[in-house]
Structure 1
Amino acid sequence: MFKQLVPLNKARHATKKIKQIEGFGFASEFHIASLMVHEFSRAAAIYPVVFLEDKEKDRFRPVVLLGLEEGVNLFTDADGKWQSSYVPAIIRRYPFALASTGQEGQFTVCIDEGSDLVSDTEGVPLFGDNGEPAEAIENIKTYLGELQQMDAFTDEFCKFFAQHNLFTPLNMRVRQADQAKNISGCYVINEERLNNLSNELFLEIRAKNYLPAVYAHLISLSQIERLMTLGEERQSAKNS
């Protein structure tokens, strides 16, 4: 997603402006997007919500499937417009992100200097004439801070289910355009193991407020059929 991500500072970006997002062409090749637990309920009505394993960091993270083929986002059209009612937060925050400063719990706001949304002439100023952060930066800091808290909650959610061996590989064979396609490399919460948990552990999941996300995730898996349909429709449009 990011081309040239650097820390935001007034010396380097004093004259920069940020244009309003009017299209999502930058995400047209994203077939997955990271998601946070707080987004599961809204995302589940549109996308399959699954988990990926990051073996280097020994952790799992949730994502939405935006397409069944690498490099193909079925929810952006030729004009870069998003073709659904909910856009994942990680895409909406572009071209900004938080990066760790190296000190525990400390983060800095970064900006993608390679983004078309960053301009010297158009948009909302990032800094005022006095060199102080403008309202746009304050809003960005607030938004990114909220996302960081959600991300921490999501990380704890994934750690809990991994520790209790509740993730299982998703192996699904579907048919698309008269061809068989294997969906693999993803993980889902094992519903059978979930139903066989002890009462004590199940009550702990409820107390942690994880249950709504769990059920949203499981329900979302039926959206894989939606991706198949969208893929077939796009292929038909190309061939016509």
Structure 2
Amino acid sequence: MFTKLTPINKEQHANLKVKAIENFDFASKFHIASVMVHEFVKAASVYPIVFLEDKSQDEFKPVALLSLDAGENLFIGEDGKWQASYVPAIIRRYPFALAKNPDQDSFTVCIDEDSKYVGTEDGQLLFNDQGEPTEVIENVKRYLGELQQMEVFTIAFCQFLAENNLFTPLNMRVKAADQIKNVTGCYVINEERLNNLSDKKFLEIKAKGYLAPLYSHLTSLSQIERLALLKQGISAVETPQQAESSLQ
């Protein structure tokens, strides 16, 4: 997504402007998008939510599947418009991002200088004539700050699932574009293990605010068939009867 991510500063970016995103061509090759726990409820109505294991960090991370094939995003039309009711927050933040400062518990707001939505001709200025941040910068800082807090919560959520042995590998077969595809390489929550947790552990899940995302994730797995339909060129807004018929 980012090709030239640079920390924002008033000396270097005094005349820099940012335009509103008109299309999502920059995400057309993304078959997954990271999502935060707070997004699960909305994202689950559109995308399958699964977990990827990052062995280098010894952690699991939730992602929304945008396709069953790498290098493909089934939710971007020929006009570059996002064809779904919800766009993952990590996509909406573009062309901005946070970078952690080395040896510090703080972050710096960065911008992709190579983005076609960044330049000196059109858009909203990042700094005013006095060199002070404009409302654009303030809004971005607030938005990215909220995402960072969500990420902390999401990391704790995934750690809890791992510690309680609730992850299990996904192994599913679906028909997509006249081919049978094996959906593997990711993890889901083991519903049987979840249901067998003690009452005490279940109350702990409730107290932590994990119930809604847990069941949103489990519900979202039916959207894997939605991806198969989209791959076949069948509208994802067709009736359940049409979808069922197409998958037989």
Deviations 1:58-98 (A, max 9, x none): 11010000001101100001111000110000000000011
Tell me what 1:55 maps to. 55
Aligned-pair Cα RMSD in Å: 0.9
Secondary structure, counterpart of 1:105 in structure 2: coil
- Report deviation, 1:104: 4.3
Tell me what 1:12 maps to. 12
Provide the C-alpha distance between the structure 2 equivalents of 1:51 and 1:109, rounded to a whole number of angstroms: 27
Tell me what 1:72 maps to. 72
Tell me what 1:194 maps to. 194
Secondary structure, counterpart of 2:197 in structure 1: coil
Secondary structure, counterpart of 2:116 in structure 1: coil
| AA in 1 matched with 2:118 | V
Tell me what 1:138 maps to. 138
Large movers: runs of 4+ above 6 Å: none
- Map 1:101-112 → 2, pairs under 5 A: 101-112=101-112
Tell me what 1:208 maps to. 208
- Map 1:7-46 → 2, pairs under 5 A: 7-46=7-46
Aligned length: 234
- Report deviation, 1:177: 2.4
- 2:178 and 2:232 in contact (8 A); partners too: no
TM-score after normalising by structure 2: 0.93
| AA in 2 matched with 1:229 | L
Provide the C-alpha distance between the structure 2 equivalents of 1:210 and 1:233, rounded to a whole number of angstroms: 35
Deviations 1:84-118 (A, max 9, x none): 11000000000001111024431110111111110
- Report deviation, 1:179: 1.4
- Report deviation, 1:174: 1.2
Tell me what 1:233 maps to. 233
Provide the C-alpha distance between the structure 2 equivalents of 1:76 and 1:177, rounded to a whole number of angstroms: 18
- 2:29 and 2:71 in contact (8 A); partners too: yes
Tell me what 2:246 maps to. none
- Report deviation, 1:43: 0.4
| AA in 2 matched with 1:114 | D
Provide the C-alpha distance between the structure 2 equivalents of 1:169 and 1:48, rounded to a whole number of angstroms: 15
- Map 1:70-149 → 2, pairs under 5 A: 70-149=70-149
Provide the C-alpha distance between the structure 2 equivalents of 1:176 and 1:125, rounded to a whole number of angstroms: 45
Tell me what 2:244 maps to. none
Secondary structure, counterpart of 2:170 in structure 1: strand
Deviations 1:144-198 (A, max 9, x none): 1111101110010001101111111101111122211111111001101001111
CA spacing shift, 1:177–1:48, aligned 2, 3 Å:
same
What is the aligned-residue identity percentage? 65
* Matching of residue 218 in structure 1 with residue 208 in structure 2: no
TM-score after normalising by structure 1: 0.96
